[in-house]
Amino acid sequence: MCGPADFGALHTSLTRLAALFAGGVATYAVSRLVSFCRRLRLKRRTQEEARSHLLRTLPVQVSGEHSNS
Amino acid sequence: MLKFPTRRLVKIDVAYAKKAALGVAMGAVGAALFLFAFPGGSISTLMHDVLHLPGPGAGIAAVFGPFLIFVLLLSSLLTRTRGVALIAALAFVVSCMVLVQVHGARTNPKGAFGSLLFLAALALLGLAIEVVLVLSSAFRPARQCLLTGAVANAVLLIFYWLVIFPRTASWVKWKDVPVLMGICLVTGLLAGYVAWLAFQPLSRVLALGDKE
């Protein structure tokens, strides 16, 4: 009724499932790493922009203070 | 006056075509993955010679049905469009036929892979998913997925019992029906829940892709 057992096919199936699982885990890990690097780069760029903005605005304020006094 | 509706119609058609293309891609990838991961005879051996489950139908109830429900339900959830589960089911059948005929992928003759009966079984499964999703729209999405998974898996198993297995294997025995139906409902619920779990991060990724 159920046909002859094919343990070779079952072994192949388990090997391929393990390979697919490993591939999936590796892909997920790489995607997480890429998103982490992107976030880190974005954060660094934001900090640099904030610093440069501060450096640009600071002398203006100082000169403004001088003119007021 | 006439320009606005025409443009809108074209826009809707393009959007639907994109979603249908996603369904086709998911069906095709699902078929390729299934035939790669489960070569002919592996499911049957696991069910009857390792787990000692009764048959016929244990493989459909525990492996094939849940796998299909995961693929079809996920495609329907990701596109949020009616008819995409059916499109993905038909793409799965066509891909199976191509892989079996052209590539010579090994399948179990009991499952009638690539035949017209197989096409009918998967069309019925896709239709069942669409109908249950529409009828259960009042429920929360997670419960909707659970219900859809269980009902669709039962529909597929009953179709195999009544139409395919009498031709390819044998009629199911009455005493085996409760066990197999129990397995079918539990694995269907699980498949629906896993599709729901997979949908949440994937929808975020796809939304990010759309924005970019």
Q: Tell me the per-residue pLDDT of B28-68, one tens digit each, with 9 for 90 and over.
A: 999 999 999 999 889 999 999 999 999 799 999 999 999 99
Q: Does some domain include residue A47?
A: yes
How far is Cα A26 from Cα A32, in angstroms, rounded to an integer? 10
Q: Is B110 in contact with A3 (Cβ distance < 8 A)?
A: yes
Domain ranges, residue A53 = 32-61
Q: How many CB atoms lie within 10 A of CB B72?
A: 33
Helix residue spans in chain B (DSSP H): 3-37, 42-44, 58-59, 65-79, 84-101, 116-135, 141-159, 165-168, 177-211
Domain boundaries, chain B: 12-211
Chain B touched by A22 (CB under 8 Å)? no
Residue corresponding to tokens 């629906």: B192
Binning pLDDT at 50, 70 and 90, where does residue B201 land? Answer: confident
Chain B touched by A16 (CB under 8 Å)? yes
Name the CA radius of gyration of chain A, rounded.
30
Chain B touched by A35 (CB under 8 Å)? no
Q: How many CB atoms lie within 10 A of CB A51?
A: 10
- Rounded to the nearest angstrom, the gap between the alpha carbon of residue B90 and the centroid of all alpha carbons in its chain is 10
Structure tokens at B158: 């009953």
Out of B81-95, B100-114, B148-162, pick the least confident: B100-114
What separation in angstroms does the CA of B103 have from each of B34, B36, B38, B90, B138?
A: 14, 11, 15, 19, 44
Q: Does some domain include residue A40?
A: yes
Q: How far is B5 from chain A (nearest CA, A)?
A: 41
Structure tokens at B206: 């796809």
Q: Does some domain include residue A57?
A: yes
Binning pLDDT at 50, 70 and 90, where does residue B172 land? Answer: very high
Amino acid making up residue B207: A
Q: Is A3 in contact with B46 (Cβ distance < 8 A)?
A: no
Q: Does some domain include residue A69?
A: no
How far is Cα A55 from Cα B154, in angstroms, rounded to an integer? 68
Per-residue pLDDT tens for A3-47?
678 899 999 999 999 999 999 999 989 988 998 999 999 999 999
Domain count, chain A: 1
- Contact between B28 and A4 under an 8 Å Cβ cutoff? The reply is no
- Quote the pLDDT of residue B7: 62
- Rounded to the nearest angstrom, the gap between the alpha carbon of residue A5 and the centroid of all alpha carbons in its chain is 46
Q: Does some domain include residue A48?
A: yes
Chain B residue numbers with beta carbons less than 8 Å from the beta carbon of A2 are 44, 47-49, 55-56, 169
